[in-house]
Structure 1
Amino acid sequence: MAGRIRDEDIAEVREKARIDDVVSSYVTLRNAGSGSMKGLCPFHDEKSPSFHVTPARGYFHCFGCQEGGDVLTFLMKIDGISFAESVERLADKYGVQLRREDGDVPQKPRGPQRSRLVDAHKYAQEYYADALGGPDAVVARQFLDARGFDRDAAATFGVGFSPRGGEDLLGHLKQKGFSEDELVIAGLVGRGRGLYDRFRGRLMWPIRDASGDTIGFGARRIFDDDRIDAKYLNTSETPIYKKSHVLYGIDLARKEIRDSGRAVIVEGYTDVMACHLAGVGSAVATCGTAFGDDHARVLRRFLVDDDRMRGEVIFTFDGDAAGQNAAMKVFRSDQNFSSQTYVAVAPDGMDPCDLRLKSGDDAVRELVDGRVPLYRFVLENIVGRYDLDRADSRVDALREAAALVASVRDKSKVEAFTREVATSIGVDPDDARREVRRALSRPARPTTSSAPQRPGAEQGSGGNQTLGEERPAAPPLPNLRDPRFALERETLKLVLHHPEVVVRSAKDVRPEDFTHPTYRGVWEIIAASGGPESAGTGWAVRLRDSAVDPAVSSALSALSVEPLLAHKEPDTAYVHAHVYRLQELTVLRRIADLKSRLQRTSPTEQATEHQRLFGELVTLEQQRRTLREKAMGPQG
């Protein structure tokens, strides 16, 4: 039985898998200067980027939610995989041959490696695409042709056909070396009385993640005698396919979304194809589920412009009741976006695919360009439900519209929206303002509990407490960014960023030189590793891996990506001004303690002790002057 992956191979994976390359598959990164890149954090909701990546040190850190680590940690967190799986995935991508140590008993595997499941889908997609050109796929080709999609369009989107035989794909993939269990877990093969192809006699759309890997399929019914009545079948949940996290077309749309600052949400696979072919290259669709919070997080990674998330999110809805309900649902969850959210309503309830067929590519582009703000669309639907010729109906419409205005997150827009409500309903603006104020003053729904603060957050963290143990909460630690600890923070950044230039000056630094417990913990780990002189390839990663306290681990990743205040390569004077000044402050604290003890010691009754303390004070004063001279450097 194979053992654990060798350390030198893990180190090679870390070296070859550039963290900015890997992270860029999930997050749009921009140059932030000083060798750092930044983007919107994929691990929590934010409007301004606080997620930093430092390629030179192979680290990422979010200063908002405090997540951080190296390239392996990033994959583990974002895809929910194990350490070994993240190593194997990157080794496969970057061509590293992994070796395992003999005699080690590995943990029981949780299932096939992700790379195996992705490879199975890759071969399945190629198989389906080839089958689309066969004699049995005539109906599939006719379906595409009737909707305006030729062979080139099918090839661009990887559309294919699943043969009707029932075991065709199964046999093909087994010849490629895949086991039956792998194919069942991948969702490509079903298991009943025997094994059978999950998709049979259907038009197939490959569903890909943002990096372009095929992770699932959408299958459209095209034969009248299909025993499954559902018009669409989608891949079931698998280790690599989570429908609430997937947007069809994101692999093709991500660059256009980033460049244009616009994402268009349509309802189906053919609508995505129609939009892209018509020149709306930022169109995506959900896969068999309503648009939700997780889909919004996927989009948010690409809707970045400079330092803020901006741009437009445009939903295409029918103008009927179902479309209005869908718009209301989006509006209620619109807090997911700080971008402007719009609705594009096609004439006569046509979707983009039908619109393209009837009126051409220009009509699709005009549909998107003619978008209306989601707020206005929802307001018009509210007002449209009431008979505004009746006074009581106008009151009811005003109350509902006021609640809508009160729910708008950007309070600077409340006054403008209030005037718009007054105009739409036909009431006095002052009456509309009073009703909006009432809606704003209504208490929010109380929450049952508040989320616990993450250990090591920049605001400081309390100690750990055993679950169920009744005791007073420990006082919170000071903020790591408190000006009192600025020198400690900058000195640690010097050590982590440029260990080679601080080796000589930092040899006498001790844990007691750091007054913040978290910073002291960081230095203790550095010292335990052999100090700056032991730094080498993967040093920062080894330090973080050895951290037991989450606060220290978080601080290590933050300090590793945060640029120096000097924003340049540090010279000797900069190093001395920090390292020796840090030690001088420790001596000053000892001098203050010693003077306090001297004041409490009688020079007559405790002459010997008083003389000893005085001598120690003279020595410390001399030590302080020496450190001050070193910190200030040569004068004159």
Structure 2
Amino acid sequence: MDFSEFCDRLLERTDIVKLISRYVTLKRAGSSFKACCPFHNERTPSFSVDPAKQLYHCFGCGKGGNAITFLRDIENIDTIDAIKMLADEAHMELPSFSGSKHRGLDKEKRLRLYSLMREAARHYNANLSSPRAQIARDYIEKRLLPPNIVTRFGLGYSFDFTEIIDYLKGKGYTEAEMKEAGLIERTADKWYDVFHGRLIFPIISNTGEVVAFGGRALRKDIPAKYRNSTQTEIFDKSKTVYALNLLKKKRRTGPLPYVIMCEGYMDVIALHKAGFDTAVASMGTSLTYQQAKQLKNYSDKVIISYDGDTAGQKATMRGLDILRENGLTVKVARMPEGKDPDEVINEMGREAYERILEEAMPLTAYKLDMLRRSYDMNDRDDKTKYAAEAVKCVKQLENPVEREEYLQTVAEETGYDIGVLRAQANVFTGDEKPAAPEVKPKEPARDISETFLLAAYVAGRPYVDPEDLTEIFPDGFERNLVDSVTDSRLKGIKDTAAMLYTDMPDGVHGKLPEIIEFDLTGMDDKSVYDSCVRKLKIARLEKKCTELAAAYDETRDIKYLQQCSEYKKQIKKLRESGGR
């Protein structure tokens, strides 16, 4: 079974309505379902799911596809991982996709790397029971981590430079594969474990696969305190959220009131130990758009709980707008100066951290507080600068009541008249024009006859001759679509339309709805098809004649006129025969 055939069977067994309902609330609208799009912020639902076609499409942002592309995009994972998740749910075993033409898909290689990392994680974890791991057990005891938490997070230990290499070689893996997984590096004469002498934190994807490791140095002779896996084929730091796999399990028990976003592994582990089990961590202090989109799948509210130092506060500021732009309600938990969540839990207790969460500041209040701290409010010039920056911040609020409340706060802090601040907000609103959108060259509009031919072929109309289409569309997107449909038909794939989203490159998915959703009413007839084919064949031949005439004018080579004469005969024949 090849890739396309397997995906076709997988899509047949997957209910796209049930799948999408896990992420958005769908409401029936006739024969389809509607919702606000999960891929962009909107108030009026423009996201449609067609259960008959097993397709979705957003009329706002243009996103569309099948169950595989939806899961891939909403979970921010690769296509093969989305297929694996759906296959697991459908109790289907992934076959070997030998000869798969699917771009960028090396399924065997990725699954082997997953297997390697899983073996490594198990071995590191088993090492904790060894007499050689006393230093790791002492550290775990010092951090007050009970056995159930050690097990939940799969903590482990790396003894030395080569032990993991010998173990994995015994399991049939090569040094080249270990290096590709980010586990080992090479000096002049030998390979070594990059995590030697470290407490190991497995980093698990939201699909449940070990994709990387973090390591905390336990010996003084190891230079860097923390080390993370480098980017690999299965690990992208910017797309990964630590403990998201646990958050996913938690959500299955019911809606999550909020997600707590931390900086480090130990912060997350300490919070889980204390019962705050919606805690996750970004892979570094700077949040990315990909991470924010993933968080949106689990809750509409995020509480930022970074360290109480300057670096943590600056990181918080960078992350706030990214979260807000992804439609999340954001609050900021203010840590005591110099403390991180782990220290607060261990030194001050669970109740202290709970109060910090309860007192978390709304996004705008936090921004104003940070602005205020950067100015001397007793200095007239500084106070004026603060007022100007504060008004810029407040005027971004969409809710007029909130905007008025914060303007009143700024007025009280600065002593300025609120009417002046309102006027200033209006000035900013009028003067600060949004940047002009990037103007991309438009592709020539597709002739309705072309769209009809493609739509009829996708819909499986018996009067369509694929040889006509390969002649009319010799290359480009249209030819790729024709070839993909032809290939699917030869394999007996039923749902050709849904398969197009899996077979064709992501960059052309936006072009598919125009064809798949084309209304054939009034044109669904062989005579109309014949007329369109005749028209398009003639147009193509006339274009060739024009090009040949230009070539003759430039070269005076008689062969161009001879070829043009042949094309004109074909044009005449098409017109006289009625096109067939």
Which structure 2 residues correspond to residues 269-418 of structure 1 after superposition, within 5 A? 269-303=265-299, 311-408=300-397, 413-418=402-407
Q: Report SS of the residue matched to 1:94.
A: coil
Alpha carbons of structure 1 residues 167 and 20: separation in structure 2 relative to 1, 3 Å = farther
Are 2:168 and 1:173 aligned?
Answer: yes
Q: Report SS of the residue matched to 2:242.
A: coil
Q: 1:452 is matched with which residue: 427, 440, 453?
A: 440
Q: Deviations over 1:404-443 (max 9, x none)?
A: 2234466674333222211232321112222323333333
Q: Deviations over 1:308-328 (max 9, x none)?
A: xxx311111344433432333
Q: Deviations over 1:290-340 (max 9, x none)?
A: 22222212212333xxxxxxx311111344433432333234445423222
The equivalent residue for 1:609 is none
Are 2:96 and 1:98 aligned?
Answer: yes
How far did 1:383 drift? 2.1
The equivalent residue for 1:264 is 260
How far did 1:161 drift? 0.7
Distance of 2:244 and 2:124 partners within structure 1: 21
Alpha-carbon contact 1:124-1:173 (below 8 Å) kept: yes
Alpha carbons of structure 1 residues 71 and 440: separation in structure 2 relative to 1, 3 Å = closer
Which structure 2 residues correspond to residues 46-57 of structure 1 after superposition, within 5 A? 46-47=41-42, 57=53
Distance of 1:291 and 1:161 partners within structure 2: 28
Are 2:206 and 1:232 aligned?
Answer: no
Distance of 1:334 and 1:283 partners within structure 2: 16
The equivalent residue for 1:423 is 412
Alpha-carbon contact 2:262-2:281 (below 8 Å) kept: yes
Q: Deviations over 1:137-157 (max 9, x none)?
A: 112122122222111110011
Q: Which runs of 5+ in 1 are unaligned?
A: 1-5, 304-310, 454-460, 464-475, 481-487, 500-505, 512-516, 566-577, 590-636
Q: Deviations over 1:221-271 (max 9, x none)?
A: 1112x3x32110000011111111111011111354681241211111111
| TM-score normalised by L of structure 1 | 0.66
Distance of 1:246 and 1:282 partners within structure 2: 16
Q: 2:248 is matched with which residue: 231, 254, 258?
A: 254
Are 2:23 and 1:66 aligned?
Answer: no
Alpha-carbon contact 1:76-1:86 (below 8 Å) kept: yes
Q: Letter of the aligned partner of 1:286 in structure 2?
A: S
How far did 1:90 drift? 7.9
Report how many aligned residue pairs link the two structures. 507
Alpha carbons of structure 1 residues 26 and 586: separation in structure 2 relative to 1, 3 Å = closer
Q: Deviations over 1:469-492 (max 9, x none)?
A: xxxxxxx579x9xxxxxxx9xxx7
Alpha carbons of structure 1 residues 254 and 363: separation in structure 2 relative to 1, 3 Å = farther
Deviates more, 1:211-220 or 1:282-291: 282-291
How far did 1:51 drift? 5.8
Alpha-carbon contact 1:184-1:190 (below 8 Å) kept: yes
Distance of 1:273 and 1:548 partners within structure 2: 40
Distance of 2:120 and 2:173 partners within structure 1: 11
How far did 1:379 drift? 0.7
The equivalent residue for 1:569 is none
Distance of 1:525 and 1:582 partners within structure 2: 18
Distance of 2:275 and 2:290 partners within structure 1: 27
Alpha carbons of structure 1 residues 431 and 96: separation in structure 2 relative to 1, 3 Å = closer
Are 2:205 and 1:209 aligned?
Answer: yes
How far did 1:215 drift? 0.3
Q: Deviations over 1:524-565 (max 9, x none)?
A: 969x96999x986343356678989987x64655786x8x99
Q: Report SS of the residue matched to 2:333.
A: strand
Are 2:181 and 1:186 aligned?
Answer: yes
Q: Deviations over 1:163-217 (max 9, x none)?
A: 1x21111111112121221111110111222211121010010111111111001
Distance of 1:287 and 1:70 partners within structure 2: 30
Alpha carbons of structure 1 residues 358 and 80: separation in structure 2 relative to 1, 3 Å = closer
Distance of 1:535 and 1:323 partners within structure 2: 57
Alpha-carbon contact 1:262-1:314 (below 8 Å) kept: yes
Q: Report SS of the residue matched to 1:172.
A: helix
Q: Report SS of the residue matched to 2:135.
A: helix
Distance of 1:26 and 1:196 partners within structure 2: 47
How far did 1:507 drift? 6.9
Q: 1:15 is matched with which residue: 2, 6, 9?
A: 9
Alpha-carbon contact 2:203-2:212 (below 8 Å) kept: yes
Distance of 2:383 and 2:76 partners within structure 1: 51
Q: Which runs of 5+ in 2 are unaligned?
A: 467-472, 532-580
Alpha carbons of structure 1 residues 362 and 47: separation in structure 2 relative to 1, 3 Å = farther
Distance of 1:260 and 1:106 partners within structure 2: 37
Distance of 2:204 and 2:183 partners within structure 1: 15
Distance of 1:415 and 1:439 partners within structure 2: 15
Which structure 2 residues correspond to residues 125-144 of structure 1 after superposition, within 5 A? 125-144=121-140
Cα RMSD (Å) of the superposition?
Answer: 4.9
How far did 1:387 drift? 3.6
Distance of 1:530 and 1:249 partners within structure 2: 41
The equivalent residue for 1:440 is 429
Q: Report SS of the residue matched to 1:347.
A: coil
Q: Letter of the aligned partner of 1:174 in structure 2?
A: K
Q: Letter of the aligned partner of 2:494 in structure 1?
A: T
Q: Letter of the aligned partner of 1:160 in structure 2?
A: G
Query: Could you tell me the percent identity over the aligned residues?
Result: 26
Alpha-carbon contact 2:204-2:243 (below 8 Å) kept: yes
Distance of 1:182 and 1:440 partners within structure 2: 56
Distance of 2:329 and 2:256 partners within structure 1: 14
Q: 1:153 is matched with which residue: 128, 149, 171?
A: 149
Distance of 1:111 and 1:11 partners within structure 2: 15
How far did 1:128 drift? 0.7
